[in-house]
Amino acid sequence: LGTSDKARQTEIMLNLASYTRRIIASEPTLVRVPSSPAKIFGDTHGQFRDLLLLLVHHGFPTHKGGDVELTHYVFNGDYVDRGAHQIEIVLLVFALKVLYPSRVFLLRGNHEFRKQNEGMGKFGFHHAVNSHFVTTGQKVYDAIHDA
């Protein structure tokens, strides 16, 4: 999050979730990737390093030498639960959606639903967010789920 200040981290997460929510709310429920090629990533389950390695190997969506103007990126859900870097995964996919709203598609898997997150106990996204943000965890968790 670029800072160790928990209040600033909370502000960043809430703003990013709000921007993402506005973009996704303007999209149809059933999204269609306009044309190929498309890169599809799924079931990352908080494994941030693995996602980064996949993006390095298959191309990172960036306007500085990347292929985001030619390729669509589909993140096929199950971003969270189980892995050690669930918050980082959400940060990355939300930031990419905000930066490239017409090129990045975010789909929800079963692990993007509250009941699933909360039923995972200490391995779940609910626990990860509340452990990291301590005093503002529920507010951040709600904002992410509302996106």
The one catalytic residue among 45, 72, 85, 111? 111
| Residue 111 annotated as catalytic | yes
Residue 56 is inside which H or E element, if any? helix 48-58
Query: Is residue 100 a contact partner of residue 68, using CB atoms and an 8 Å limit?
Result: yes
DSSP tag of 111: G
Task: Give the catalytic positions in this structure.
Answer: 111
